[in-house]
Amino acid sequence: MDFQKIKEASQFIESKLTVKPELALVLGSGLGVLAEEIENPTIISYQEIPYFPESTVSGHKGQLVIGTLEGKTVLAMQGRFHFYEGYTMQQVTFPMRVMKQLGIQSLIVTNAAGGINETFNPGDLMIITDHINNMGTSPLIGPNDDRLGARFPDMSQGYDKAYIQHALQCAEELNLSVQTGVYVGNTGPAYETPAEVRMLRTLGGDAVGMSTVPEVIVASHGNMRVLGISCISNMAAGILDQPLTHDEVMETTDMVKQNFLQFVKKIISSLPMNR
């Protein structure tokens, strides 16, 4: 990844800001509403930012919203880039490089995902404890720039343990029942077959989606602390006797919006910011 491009993009963003963001948020399908709660927002469309790709999926807006949320200065991505859209892994994860360059050390990633674990229900929120990269590639393939991270980064702490504990504590204080589990990243864009869902369950997956894994790999490469939250928007293929649609995904995320907002805001308000 071209260091010069990362610097140009981050300098452009800095030129629009009078504040220094300390926490980044990636808002997944149907979860962009959180950005609407950001106070004194500066909005920067992805199109304006040098070297940023443009987002194409419905339910994804394609802009950065920077401002104050629960007393923290946040930079939110309202809409993200997916590998299935045809972007390279480096494009998909370019924003995480820019976040790091901006001095941001903590990241909350959210997504909509299909439930593999049969004890889950649509509408559940799942704190991601770990992931399985089932995309068959990695954003770190290619020459390593040591300024960005190590050649062989450790992934045993990809999802910050203290952040997981903090999120569980917040859920308890809100009386919100949440799941924990392993997120499997698939490329998509087709949803899984029932046989694939059984395979992923055997492999240890609890939820499956088409994002997050590349982003968390790059955030780890940059030594950022990550918290991941999945909204279980549907049961994965073959579990219930019904076809999957993107509309169902959007409907469920819309339904749990209030829980999601309340939960993430509570997490942010007291999130530990330094290692």
Which residues of the shown chain bind ligand HPA in the complex (CB under 6 A)?
112-114, 191-192, 208-210, 233-234, 236, 244, 249
Helices (H), 135-188: 161-174
From 24, 89, 96, 112, active-site residue: 112
Q: Among this protein's residues, is 246 annotated catalytic?
A: yes
Closest to ligand HPA by CB, 124 or 192: 192
User: What is the enclosing helix (H) or strand (E) of 224?
Assistant: none
Q: Among this protein's residues, is 10 annotated catalytic?
A: no
Q: Among this protein's residues, is 29 annotated catalytic?
A: yes
- One-letter amino acid for residue 78 of the chain: Q
**Contacting residues for 77 by C-beta, under 8 A, at least 6 apart:** 24, 25, 26, 27, 64, 95
For residues 55 and 52, what is the distance between their CA atoms, to the nearest angstrom? 9
Q: Among this protein's residues, is 55 annotated catalytic?
A: no
Q: Among this protein's residues, is 221 annotated catalytic?
A: no
Closest to ligand HPA by CB, 51 or 84: 84
At closest approach, how far in Å is the CB of 98 from ligand HPA?
25
Closest to ligand HPA by CB, 12 or 84: 84
For residues 238 and 108, what is the distance between their CA atoms, to the nearest angstrom? 30
Q: Among this protein's residues, is 14 annotated catalytic?
A: no
Judge whether 234 and 228 are in contact, CB under 8 Å.
no
At closest approach, how far in Å is the CB of 40 from ligand HPA?
32
The residues annotated as belonging to the active site are 29, 60, 82, 84-85, 112, 210-211, 234, 246
